[in-house]
Structure 1
């Protein structure tokens, strides 16, 4: 599928909107909790990808997994951590906390790449890391006196950008050594690992048919489909465009949770989140302007 730049931009906005429905959807679950929520979403993501990927790539998708070797396995483990930590965090803390914490992914990726594969960081990126760190520190500091689950949920959410940073660094290192790692089949591996790991932790099952239906919706619409679409968009859009558009998930997710589940973000989350998102936007726009100049 070939996309024009304008269509890719529109499609990427749609992708972020699909990603953002997880928070408001989980707020309407009746009985499913914690690891059971993760199990059902990962299970339906796996089923969806087993249909979607062969339809797009044929049997080649399974050969890509086999040829990818250790790199695909490591990437799959990272995806499984992201799947699990994200959904568990949503059951412990607010949607806003989770999404703002996840927004640190690009900055964590820059740091991990600097440490392990020697990528140089521009001054603007160091400044963005410092400002975003202050924003997250402000959010964490105000939660130290809150109930344990709120702080624990934010800490669990922190695993998502950390795993994402390791994932992208592994992929970059593998490609630098001439080994191509296709991230979409790696997502399927991650869904499989997450399903197998959370199955025993999800027992005894408490989800109602209503819950299973909502989690099936998340597996297909919130993860499997946008995952494939985002890869198609990334072939057309530049990296800064993808990063900036990806931040719409934070705005859409908080707005949907506020509108659809009456979960209003606190002042500390809004202030800390504004610092994080502002630092990311400034870093990407500044870098984009330098490259064009």
Structure 2
């Protein structure tokens, strides 16, 4: 983590883009687990249960890992809930549909910053929103279907909203090292999955039993440790340093990864419309993120409170 702490604004932007691309192909292990019998929320829960003790051990090793801001803790829990809802959406609806509905998050983030964080809606932000919206529309051939809004679509919508609120709280109320906040984010994922399973019953996914899931459980544990842990840690670390709208726009690169991987592995089409959409999304993210660091808030020193950093 010390190596990450030495990175500046551009390093945070670069790592966020890498994490975004990896989030974009998260559907692959989820679909693998679904094929092995872990349906719906069970796949996300199994990966979260593997990641939780790993983050717990990392937080215990990090002596400065205490969380000092309750709102940052709540933000981390909401980010974990967003990850669980997003994973569920990938299982319950089409990959591209889930990814695109989730990416109303930039709009939520800009609204939160304008309403609660003193930001003014600028021409740059409006341009970023417009380019991203055009990119999403282009990927769908400018025919975005709204009929048949199902449970998976609702999960994707709530995931984007939960992410936007959680990222705003983590950024605005620093307190705690990324490993500690990542532990709470994973706890939010696990608790959210447990609540959905308790309330939704069979509709949230069927548990096949230990005998039938003998192949899926080890795969889920390995995926949680080798995949979920690093990308969630980087996401939390970047959320402490980048404004919520910037984070949300950078994470739209996930759409590109989802569309391309869907074309390669699910035989989904990738033609001029998808290429145009990807280019517009990249331009939108660039319009929001590529700004001289002097015009941004100073990077978070996670060892200080908001009052100590003058916020």
- Give the TM-score category using the shorter length: 0.7 to 0.9
Following superposition, the deviation at residue 33 of structure 1 comes to 1.7
Following superposition, the deviation at residue 17 of structure 1 comes to 4.5
C-alpha distance 245-123 of structure 1, shift in aligned 2 (>3 A): closer
1:86 corresponds to 2:86: yes
The 8 Å contact of residues 12 and 233 in structure 1, kept in 2 or not, is answered as yes
Instruction: Please state whether the residue corresponding to 2:119 is helix, strand or coil.
Output: coil
Unaligned runs of 5+ in 2: 297-311
Q: Pick one of 42, 46, 50 that aligns with 1:44.
A: 50
C-alpha distance 266-213 of structure 1, shift in aligned 2 (>3 A): farther
**How many matched pairs?**
278
The equivalent of 1:252 in structure 2 is: 257
- 1:95-135 CA deviation, whole Å, 9 max, x = no partner? 22333343443442122111123322221102322444455
Pairing 1:68-147 to 2, within 5 Å after superposition = 68-69=69-70, 71-133=71-133, 139=140, 142-145=144-147
The 8 Å contact of residues 128 and 288 in structure 2, kept in 1 or not, is answered as yes
Unaligned runs of 5+ in 1: none
1:188 corresponds to 2:192: no
Q: Pick one of 177, 188, 207 that aligns with 1:205.
A: 207
1:223 corresponds to 2:199: no
Following superposition, the deviation at residue 82 of structure 1 comes to 0.5
Q: Distance in 1 between matches of 2:101 and 2:278?
A: 8
The 8 Å contact of residues 75 and 168 in structure 2, kept in 1 or not, is answered as no
Higher relative contact order (CA 8 A, sep 6+): 1
The 8 Å contact of residues 249 and 288 in structure 2, kept in 1 or not, is answered as no
The 8 Å contact of residues 135 and 281 in structure 2, kept in 1 or not, is answered as yes
Q: Distance in 2 between matches of 1:131 and 1:163?
A: 23
C-alpha distance 38-283 of structure 1, shift in aligned 2 (>3 A): same
The 8 Å contact of residues 41 and 193 in structure 2, kept in 1 or not, is answered as no
The equivalent of 1:26 in structure 2 is: 30
C-alpha distance 255-195 of structure 1, shift in aligned 2 (>3 A): same
Following superposition, the deviation at residue 12 of structure 1 comes to 5.4
Structure 1 vs Structure 2 CA RMSD: 4.0
Instruction: Please state whether the residue corresponding to 1:208 is helix, strand or coil.
Output: coil
The 8 Å contact of residues 11 and 229 in structure 1, kept in 2 or not, is answered as yes
Q: Distance in 1 between matches of 2:272 and 2:42?
A: 31
C-alpha distance 248-221 of structure 1, shift in aligned 2 (>3 A): farther
Q: TM-score, with normalisation over the residues of structure 2?
A: 0.69
